[in-house]
Structure formats: C-alpha cells, structure tokens
C-alpha cells in the first residue's frame, strides 16, 4: 500500500490548541472534523464506483474501524484515524486495481486525488472552529459547576 505525505501549514498552532483541551474532548473534536471533511472523498468514490449491482457504491463508509485483515495491513500512526472507502470486500480491491481477468476500474484513487487538497484545507478551517466551540462548551460547563458549588455552600 503506497503512502502519500502532505505538508499542511498552520497545524502546529491548532495542535497546541488541541493539547489545551482534555484528551477525550480533543479526540472527539478531531473525529468530528475528520469525519465531516472526508465526505467529499466518500461521495466522489460512490459516484465513480461501477454500477453493476450498486453494492460497491453502497459499501462506501467513513469510520474509525477496519476489518481484521485491514488492521493487520495498517500501521496505526495517530490517536485518531478516520478511514474512507468501500467496505472490506475483496471485490472492491479487484475493481479498483484490476487483475488478470478484469481491467482496473479506479474509483477511490480518483476520488481521493480530486478532493485531497479540498479536504486538507477544510480540515484546517474546520478544526479551528471546532476547537473554539469545544473551549466555549468547557467554559460553560465550568461556570455551571462553579454556580452549583456556590449554591451548595
């Protein structure tokens, strides 16, 4: 499996802001942002998938879980990882890359290539907003807790 590396400017400041949040909150913020921003790739993949039965297009998902086989082939590199693509059926791989009996009908690669920069830019923008929303929620929670403690004295 070939890996692509992207360099995104401005994420170090967002990473520092995430570190200020509780770990669970930061993880949830990242999951929310990555899941939402992966939608263009999912939608393009579904649109490009061959329509013999429609099962391949219908199997496209965005999630945090991999099949047992996919897990064995994947090296986890981050606390939060979101996966987008067709389900773990072997037919999806055969359709994407082809084999001795079938020509390749790429659907995920063009979907990714056509949307990668849009997704990466969207992550940067959305992450800043979600971090700020999380800060506001935590501040309100702290205010409620302080008011509750003051009322209890």
Does 87 have pLDDT greater than 90? no
Average pLDDT of the chain, as a whole number? 87
Residue 16 lies in a domain: no
How many other C-beta atoms can be found within 10 angstroms of the C-beta atom of residue 95?
22
User: 107 in a domain, yes or no?
Assistant: yes
Residue 27: is its pLDDT beyond 70? Answer: yes
Domain count, the chain: 1
- Encode pLDDT of 107-142 as tens digits: 999 999 999 999 988 988 899 899 999 999 999 998
List phi, psi (to 5°) of 102: -145, 135
- Residue 1 confidence class, pLDDT cut points 50, 70, 90: low
What range does the domain containing 76 cover?
A: 21-152
Residue 152: half-sphere exposure toward Cβ, Cα within 13 Å: 6
pLDDT of residue 153: 62
pLDDT in tens, 32-54: 999 999 999 999 999 998 887 76
Mean pLDDT on 58-81: 87
Per-residue pLDDT band at 2 (split at 50, 70, 90): low
The closest alpha carbon to 45, from 119, 100, 102, belongs to 119
The answer to whether residue 96 is domain-embedded is yes
């Amino acid at each position: 499996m070939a890996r692509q590396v992207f360099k995104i400017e401005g994420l170090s400041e967002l990473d520092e802001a995430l570190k200020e949040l509780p770990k669970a909150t930061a993880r949830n913020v990242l999951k929310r942002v990555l899941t939402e921003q992966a939608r263009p790739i999912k939608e393009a993949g579904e649109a490009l998938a061959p329509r013999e039965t429609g099962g391949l297009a219908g199997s496209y998902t965005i999630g945090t879980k991999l099949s047992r086989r996919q897990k064995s082939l994947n090296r986890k590199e981050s606390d939060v990882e979101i996966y987008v693509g067709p389900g773990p059926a072997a037919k999806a791989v055969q359709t994407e890359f082809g084999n001795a009996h079938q020509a390749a009908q790429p659907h995920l690669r063009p979907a990714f290539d056509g949307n990668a920069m849009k997704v990466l830019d969207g992550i940067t923008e959305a992450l800043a907003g979600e971090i700020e929303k999380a800060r506001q929620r935590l501040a309100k929670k702290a205010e409620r807790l302080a008011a509750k403690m003051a009322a209890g004295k």
